[in-house]
């Protein structure tokens, strides 16, 4: 027997989810908000995607992001206790005014090579950073830059620092995570030191990303997988979701350019498997637009792609 939903769909009445059995509310009608807008999915944007088109006029830029339909943003650009040139409290106000939720932020500590001697300094950096991010209202703080890992000793130090950062941030009810590129998929051999240059790829040893996943406490450190960079690192995101369930609650949804255009990313499989493994949040990231369009138009096309895709909840 067909359900009411299937029946209505057949009649062509269910073109817009949630509109059946009710009309627009007066508030929606007054705003001229269409039903389609009201059904937008919870799609986030990594604001790095917009570059200067956003930083040149933040209040209006944030409004434009919300108008496209994005509901949340992940910040990039926190430095010297500010968001670019803007005080964090002011930035929060601008996002609130635009109707956007700041859910995450990308921040790198000022030190690349972690040693027993500088771990305290890095911990102090995270303590200060978390104070500012409480004001911004984030749920997650993510390190997007890879520290130096030439050998297993470096990897162990990095994991120790990551766990400590997670512990500090957890006190404020914020989750700490790490975002990858492709170099994390290089291998290092125990007892040897291999400088990370893209031209040198060891065929044996341990994958750095796995050393990070295995060396950190799942209660303190999550992994925001950038699915594009994982593929560029010649690895399959799905295999990682399977191997480390629950470690990837947040994703960067990225393609070579506009989402879905290159054909190299199987987003249907990625989303399906990611949901099975506890996906909570994801952010669109866009670089390298090939067409002669603005970054804003690019992120709009990415939004439309995901908003229309049946595999995105």
Closer residue to Mg ion, CB minimum distance, 247 or 252: 252
The window from 112-120, 135-143, 195-203, 248-256 that contacts Mg ion (CB under 5 A) reads 248-256
Sequence-distant (≥ 6) Cβ neighbours of residue 256 within 8 angstroms? 228, 262, 264, 288
Residue whose entry in the numeric block shows the structure tokens 């002011």: 90
Using an 8 Å Cβ cutoff, are 220 and 160 in contact? no
Using an 8 Å Cβ cutoff, are 224 and 254 in contact? no
Closer residue to Mg ion, CB minimum distance, 94 or 265: 265
We find the least distance from the C-beta atom of residue 226 to Mg ion, in angstroms, to be 4
CA distances from 306 to 76, 88, 193, 261 (A): 22, 30, 42, 12
Please report which helix (H) or strand (E) contains residue 34, including its range.
none
Closer residue to Mg ion, CB minimum distance, 74 or 168: 74
Bridge partner list, 39: none
Rounded distance between C-alpha atoms, residue 65 and residue 213, angstroms = 33
Closer residue to Mg ion, CB minimum distance, 154 or 226: 226
The window from 2-10, 91-99, 233-241, 247-255 that contacts Mg ion (CB under 5 A) reads 247-255
Write out the binding residues for Mg ion, residues 150-179 only, by CB under 5 A: none
We find the least distance from the C-beta atom of residue 115 to Mg ion, in angstroms, to be 27
Alpha carbon dihedral 148, 187, 254, 136, in 10-degree steps, equals -30
We find the least distance from the C-beta atom of residue 303 to Mg ion, in angstroms, to be 17
Closer residue to Mg ion, CB minimum distance, 181 or 261: 181
CA distances from 16 to 6, 9, 13 (A): 13, 10, 8
The window from 214-222, 245-253, 255-263, 297-305 that contacts Mg ion (CB under 5 A) reads 245-253
Using an 8 Å Cβ cutoff, are 275 and 313 in contact? yes
Among 175, 252, 273, 300, binds Mg ion (CB under 5 A): 252
Write out the binding residues for Mg ion, residues 257-296 only, by CB under 5 A: 285
We find the least distance from the C-beta atom of residue 156 to Mg ion, in angstroms, to be 25
- Report if residue 184 touches Mg ion, rule: CB under 5 A: no
Write out the binding residues for Mg ion, residues 209-228 only, by CB under 5 A: 226
Closer residue to Mg ion, CB minimum distance, 46 or 186: 46
The window from 56-64, 120-128, 185-193, 249-257 that contacts Mg ion (CB under 5 A) reads 249-257
Closer residue to Mg ion, CB minimum distance, 114 or 282: 282
Rounded distance between C-alpha atoms, residue 77 and residue 85, angstroms = 9
Closer residue to Mg ion, CB minimum distance, 49 or 186: 49
Q: What are the start-end ranges of the H helices in the chain?
A: 4-11, 26-31, 35-38, 52-55, 58-68, 88-98, 119-136, 152-170, 208-215, 227-232, 237-243, 267-276, 295-308
Size of the site for Mg ion (CB under 5 A): 3
92-113 b/e with 16+ CB inside 10 Å = b? Answer: bebbeebebbbbbbbbbbeeee
Could you give the string, one character per residue 18-47, with x where binding to Mg ion holds by CB under 5 A and - elsewhere?
------------------------------
Kindly list the residues in this chain that would bind Mg ion in the complex (CB under 5 A).
226, 252, 285
């Amino acid at each position: 027997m067909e359900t009411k939903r299937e029946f209505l769909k057949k009649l062509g009445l269910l073109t817009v989810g949630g509109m059946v059995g009710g009309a627009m509310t007066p508030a929606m009608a007054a705003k001229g908000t269409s039903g389609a807008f009201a059904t937008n999915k919870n799609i986030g944007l990594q604001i790095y995607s917009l570059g200067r088109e956003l930083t040149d006029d933040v209040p209006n830029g944030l409004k434009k992001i919300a108008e496209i339909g994005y509901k949340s943003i992940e910040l990039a650009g926190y430095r010297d206790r500010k968001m670019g040139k803007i005080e964090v409290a002011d930035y929060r106000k601008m996002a609130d005014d635009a109707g956007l939720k700041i859910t995450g932020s990308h921040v790198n500590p000022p030190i690349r090579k972690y040693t027993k001697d500088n771990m305290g300094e890095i911990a102090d950096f995270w303590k200060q950073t978390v104070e500012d991010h409480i004001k911004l209202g984030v749920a997650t703080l993510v390190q997007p830059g890879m520290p130096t890992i030439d050998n297993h000793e470096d990897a162990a130090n990095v994991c120790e620092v990551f766990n400590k950062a997670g512990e500090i941030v957890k006190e404020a009810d914020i989750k700490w995570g790490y975002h990858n590129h492709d170099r994390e998929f290089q291998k290092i051999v125990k007892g040897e030191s291999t400088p990370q240059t893209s031209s040198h790829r060891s065929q044996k040893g341990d994958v750095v990303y796995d050393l990070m996943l295995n060396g950190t406490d799942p209660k303190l450190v999550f992994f925001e997988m950038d699915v594009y960079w994982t593929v560029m690192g010649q690895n399959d995101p799905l295999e990682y979701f399977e191997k480390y369930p629950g470690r990837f609650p947040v994703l960067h949804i990225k393609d070579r350019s506009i989402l879905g255009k290159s054909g190299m990313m199987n987003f249907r499989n990625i989303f399906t498997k990611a949901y099975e493994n506890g996906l909570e949040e994801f952010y669109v990231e866009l670089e390298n637009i090939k067409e002669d369009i603005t970054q804003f138009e690019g992120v709009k096309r990415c939004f439309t792609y995901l908003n229309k895709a049946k595999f995105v909840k």
